[in-house]
Amino acid sequence: MAGLASMGCHAWRGRCSNHEDNSGWCLGNRMKDKNIIVGVTGGIAAYKSVELVRLILRAGAFSVKVAMTRNAARFVSPLTFRAVSGNRVIGDMWDPATEPMDHIDWAQGSDLIIIAPATANFIGKMAHGLADDFLSTLVLASTAKILVCPSMNTKMLENPSVQANLDTLRERGFTVMDPDEGELACRTEGPGRLPDPEKIVEEARTVLSEKDLSGLNVLVTAGATMEPIDPVRYITNRSSGKMGYALARVARRRGATVTLVSGPGAITPPDDVDFVRVMTSEEMREVVLEKAGRADVVIKAAAVLDYKPRKKEEYKIKKEKGSLRLELVRTPDILAELGDKKGEHGYLLVGFAAETQELVENAKDKLERKNLDMIVANDVSRSDAGFETDTNRVKILHREGHIEDLPLMTKEEVAEQVLDRIRGLWGERS
C-alpha cells in the first residue's frame, strides 16, 4: 500500500481557487495559466519548434514566448515564431528593440522553459553557467522548471563531453528528454532526433504536474474488446479508449505508476506506462485479474463486450441467401470479479457506466452490485459525451450516496477530476 505525497490540489470534491476555470470546477494540473518560454537553438530540427509553439498554445498555455540564439535564426526566421506565438521574439540582448531587463523579466515570469532543439553547444553553455547571449542569460536568471530536448548527430550525442554536460544538467534538476532514434538530417541512423512536438508537449505537462499520486499503483483499462465471429469478422462496440488513455496519461503525469490494459485501437499509449494490448474479453480478464493483485487503484474505463459469439468459425462464413443466425453468449463480468476480490487485495475500485437511459439509476445499481468505491456515469447518446468524442459530461456517484454533476470537459479534464477524487479517497483511507 502506498502513502501519497502531500502536495497537490486538495479540492477533490470539486471546487478549488488554485486551478478553477470560469465554471468554478478545478481542472487540476493543466498547462492552463502557464507562461512558457521556448528556447530555440541552432540545430537542424529548429523547424519542429514552430509546431511545438502552436501545440503548447493549443494545450491552453496562457502565453508562449520564443527566445532564439543567433544561430537558430539562421535555420528559422524569428518572424515565423512571432506569427505563431503572437509575441515578440528575442534573439539579441543588445538590439534596441529589446528592453534592458527583458532577460530578467522573461526569466522570472515563466513557469517552464523548454529548450528545443538543444544543441551540443548550448547544452555545454548551460552546464557551465555561461551567459553570453539572451537565451543563456535567461536560463541562468530563471527559477522556472527547465526541459531540455537535445537533438544532434549520434556521434555528437554520444561524445563524453556532451554526456557529462547532460548529467550535470540532470543533477541540477533540469529534465532532459531522451532524443528519438531514427534517420537523422546527416543521413545516418541512430539516436539524436528531436522527439515529435506532441511528445515534448506531453513531457512538458508532466514536468508541470504536481506529483500528488506518486507512490500509487494505478491499473487502468481502456477501449472496447473484440470478439471474433470467423477469421475475418468480429463484433465490438464504439468505445475508442480515449477516456481510459486520458486517465493513464494524467495519472502518469501526476507521478503514479501506471498499467494500461487496452483493447484494440489506434491511440498511441503514453510513454513510461506498463502497456498491455488485448483483444477479447477473456484476454482482458486474465491480464486485469493478474495485474490487479499489485494495484492500489483499479479504474475500469474499458467497454468490455457483454456478449460474444458462442464459437469462432474456423473458416470464413460464406455468404448465403437468407439471414444468418449468430448465437451470442455472456462474456465474463470482470468488474464484478474485481469487486468480489476487493477485500482480499485492498484496492480502490472505480467503474464507468455508459448508458443511454436512466443514467443515474443504472449507475447506482452498478455501483452497489459490483462493490465499487465510485462510478463515473456518462450518457453516451449525447453528441458531446461518451464514445469517440474528445469531451465528456459525467456524473460521479460516490458510495455514500453523494452525486456530482460535472460540466462539459475534455476527457483529460474529466481524468483530472476522477483522479482528484481517487486521491481524496486514498488519503481518507490511509
Ligand X SMILES: Cc1cc2nc3c(=O)[nH]c(=O)nc-3n(C[C@H](O)[C@H](O)[C@H](O)COP(=O)(O)O)c2cc1C
- For residue 134, the minimal CB distance to ligand X (Å) is 11
The CA distance from 144 to 100, in Å, is 20
- For residue 68, the minimal CB distance to ligand X (Å) is 8
SS (H, E, C) 267-313: CCCCCCCEEEECCCHHHHHHHHHHHHCCCCEEEECCECCCEEECCCC
- For residue 159, the minimal CB distance to ligand X (Å) is 10
Site string for ligand X, 119-148 (x = CB under 6 A): xxxx--------------------------
159 is an interface residue for ligand X by CB under 6 A: no
Using CB under 6 A as the binding criterion, the count of chain residues that bind ligand X stands at 15
The stretch among 11-19, 42-50, 344-352, 388-396 that binds ligand X (CB under 6 A) is: 42-50
Please identify the residue of the shown chain whose CB is closest to the bound ligand X.
42
- Report whether 351 contacts 376 (CB < 8 A): yes
Site string for ligand X, 46-75 (x = CB under 6 A): -----------------------x-xx---
- For residue 74, the minimal CB distance to ligand X (Å) is 8
Whether 186 is catalytic is yes
Residue 149 has φ and ψ, to the nearest 5°, of -120, 85
- For residue 157, the minimal CB distance to ligand X (Å) is 8
Of these, 2, 5, 44, 131, which contacts ligand X (CB under 6 A)? 44
151 is an interface residue for ligand X by CB under 6 A: yes
Task: Compare residues 124 and 228 and give the one whose CB is closer to ligand X.
Answer: 124
The CA distance from 6 to 10, in Å, is 9
Between 334-345 and 281-292, two packed helices, what is the crossing angle to 10 degrees? 10
98 is an interface residue for ligand X by CB under 6 A: no
The stretch among 113-121, 263-271, 310-318, 375-383 that binds ligand X (CB under 6 A) is: 113-121
- Report whether 176 contacts 170 (CB < 8 A): yes
Nearest to 53 by CA among 29, 73, 78: 78
Task: Compare residues 196 and 333 and give the one whose CB is closer to ligand X.
Answer: 196
39 is an interface residue for ligand X by CB under 6 A: no
- For residue 333, the minimal CB distance to ligand X (Å) is 54
Of these, 42, 91, 241, 270, which contacts ligand X (CB under 6 A)? 42
Say which residue the cell 556532451 belongs to: 162
**Helix boundaries (H) for 355-410:** 359-369
- For residue 73, the minimal CB distance to ligand X (Å) is 9
Nearest to 262 by CA among 254, 378, 248: 248
SS (H, E, C) 140-201: HHCCCEEEEEECCCHHHHHCHHHHHHHHHHHHCCCEECCCEEEECCCCCEEEEECCCHHHHH
179 is an interface residue for ligand X by CB under 6 A: no
The stretch among 116-124, 240-248, 348-356, 418-426 that binds ligand X (CB under 6 A) is: 116-124
The stretch among 114-122, 215-223, 296-304, 406-414 that binds ligand X (CB under 6 A) is: 114-122
The CA distance from 309 to 111, in Å, is 54
The CA distance from 338 to 286, in Å, is 12
Task: Compare residues 44 and 336 and give the one whose CB is closer to ligand X.
Answer: 44
165 is an interface residue for ligand X by CB under 6 A: no
Nearest to 106 by CA among 142, 79, 81, 76: 142
The CA distance from 408 to 383, in Å, is 11
The CA distance from 218 to 226, in Å, is 24
Chain-centre distance of CA 119, in angstroms?
27
Q: Which residues are the active-site residues? A: 186
Residues of this chain that bind ligand X (CB under 6 A):
41-45, 69, 71-72, 119-122, 151-152, 156
